[in-house]
Structure 1
Amino acid sequence: MKDRVTITMLEDGVADVRLVRIDKMNALDNLMFAGIAEAIAQLKEMKGLRVVVLSGEGRAFCAGLDLTSLGQPGDGKKQGEGATGSLGSRSHGIANLAQYVAWGWRELPVPVIAAVHGVAFGGGFQIMSGADIRIIHPDTRCAIMEMKWGLVPDMAGFPLWRGNVRDDVIRELTYTNREFKGTEAHALGFATKVSDTPLEDAFWLAKVMAGKHPAAMRGAKRLCNAMADATDAELLALESAEQLKVIRTPNQIEAVMAEMQKRRATFAE
């Protein structure tokens, strides 16, 4: 994994996760797919994790699929298969492996912040979309690139984009594979904010989030994840259920006391 993805634990439970295939602008080959999936699995089990910051080393966030890997042993895309298995296989819960490298960030119990620069094409754009919050450099080159190569977007983009971006906008960008900049990505709803220093801003935001009640933050993420397809009645019930898990607990009381005393809270894990 380490030659494709690294995880560095910083203070306050912030994980610095980086794509590090620098010579290929972090393009997705078999080892990158496997490395990202392994990183997500490690993060799911990590004790004390509160926030993840996801970025790409070098000149790009992720340039998308490495076309030179198509048809190589173990890839199988040429035969209608995913990165390491059948596209129809649900090898990672509700997703296949190719989808999981984008969708899996939503399954992490903590907030994920993507800091995006340089290039975010195709699969890279979909990986970015899996983050809870996406901070993008204004000049980042973006594209839903798959149609250029006679493919369809198949890395969880559609379930990740709905609710954020208008249906007709997704269609236009998918059908044409038109390139656009980070500023337009923000205007259209793909990105949360534009920044000249996305990684710096991501770490600042992560520090703020890491100082919040961990159980409440995880409950809030579950509520956010449910918004896309839960009914009103289901969301109302889920709000109450999540609140009952945290209200009047020692950590919730500590959050109140810290605010009243103007100090940083100290939470028990």
Structure 2
Amino acid sequence: MTLIDAEFENLLVDQHGPLAVITVNRPRALNALSADTFSELAQAVELVMDTAEIGALILTGGGDRAFVAGADITELADLDSVFAGRELSLAGQDVMQSIASLPLPTIAAIQGFALGGGLELALACDVRIASPGSKLGMPETGLGLIPGYGGTQRLPRLIGVGRALDLMLTARQVGAEEALTMGLVNYVADNPLEKAREVAQQMLRNAPMAIGLVKEAVRRGMDAGLDHALEIEADMFGMAVTTKDFKEGTRAFLEKRPARFQGE
């Protein structure tokens, strides 16, 4: 089954050749992440992983008011035990980790609010693109909560401990330009989905195997000391030179022609 064949209640799925777009489509609820939405998102990501022709993934939100405004507060309000809270956090982390660990490029196209779980969803992607009017933040402490879907870990790794703690402890929201300055987003664009497609096409020109190895080297290296991280890089480099994509890329360069990568 390809993504385009799948049916979801809370998601829209669009696949054109190697590029897939998953849209969280609950605009009346500002695309809040309900339990059902999480379940469907997990299924959709699994389909992406199982669909060989997909080379890049964009995540976005339906409507123009929100990317994802956070978790569904009506569901969170019913939590009343350590066990229930922990299980919900772990389930959300699993979905975010499934996105973060994809070997293909992932891009969040953000318009409107990307708050709490919505920002955590964007943080699980490789690249974030925001519209000028976007608002990003971690408002959980204002609800008596903490970020539970990876935010306390991915945010400081991306923008530094001081800036991450500022956002989480104040619960303040930042605009797109401030987010760009602090490295929270990579681009600000009037049409973030269009820009995401443009960036994805640039990525799709490159060797799929090399892209996957870059992501693995970065992901594993971030949790290691520098000496070990450099060993990981050397291992990934060694694997790259054994691929058919490497042979094709170097041959195409020497022959002064575009490379025709096969992902092998």
Q: TM-score, normalised by structure 2?
A: 0.88
- Give the distance between the partners of 1:207 and 1:176, measured in 2 at CA: 38
- Give the distance between the partners of 1:147 and 1:121, measured in 2 at CA: 12
Q: 2:52 aligns with which of 39, 47, 50?
A: 47
**Runs of 4+ displaced beyond 6 Å:** none
- Give the distance between the partners of 2:98 and 2:161, measured in 1 at CA: 23
- Equivalent residue runs for 1:1-269 within 5 Å: 2-11=8-17, 13-59=18-64, 60-71=66-77, 77-80=79-82, 86-89=84-87, 96-259=90-253, 260-267=255-262, 269=264
- Give the distance between the partners of 1:143 and 1:167, measured in 2 at CA: 15
Residue pair 1:116, 1:136 contacting (<8 A) in 2 also: yes
Residue pair 1:3, 1:21 contacting (<8 A) in 2 also: no
Larger proportion of helix: 2
CA distances 1:204-229 after superposition (whole Å, capped 9, x unpaired): 11111112111111001101112321
Residue pair 1:102, 1:128 contacting (<8 A) in 2 also: no
One-letter amino acid of the structure 2 residue matched with residue 20 of structure 1? N
Residue pair 1:70, 1:78 contacting (<8 A) in 2 also: no
> 51-60 or 225-234, which moves further after superposition?
225-234
One-letter amino acid of the structure 2 residue matched with residue 204 of structure 1? E
- Give the distance between the partners of 1:151 and 1:54, measured in 2 at CA: 25
- Give the distance between the partners of 1:193 and 1:33, measured in 2 at CA: 26
- Give the distance between the partners of 1:88 and 1:24, measured in 2 at CA: 24
CA positional deviation for 1:264: 4.8
SS in 2 for 1:162: helix
- Give the distance between the partners of 1:146 and 1:38, measured in 2 at CA: 26
Residue pair 2:208, 2:263 contacting (<8 A) in 1 also: no
> 97-106 or 258-267, which moves further after superposition?
258-267
**Which ranges in structure 1 are unaligned for 5 or more consecutive residues?**
none
**Which ranges in structure 2 are unaligned for 5 or more consecutive residues?**
1-6
SS in 1 for 2:86: coil
SS in 2 for 1:168: helix
- Give the distance between the partners of 1:127 and 1:65, measured in 2 at CA: 10
- Give the distance between the partners of 2:111 and 2:186, measured in 1 at CA: 14
| Distance change in 2, residues 1:258/1:38 (3 Å) | same
- Give the distance between the partners of 1:14 and 1:53, measured in 2 at CA: 8
Residue pair 2:103, 2:216 contacting (<8 A) in 1 also: yes
| Distance change in 2, residues 1:252/1:227 (3 Å) | same
- Paired residues in the alignment total 256
| Distance change in 2, residues 1:249/1:121 (3 Å) | closer
| Distance change in 2, residues 1:218/1:98 (3 Å) | same
CA RMSD, aligned part only? 2.1
Q: TM-score, normalised by structure 1?
A: 0.87
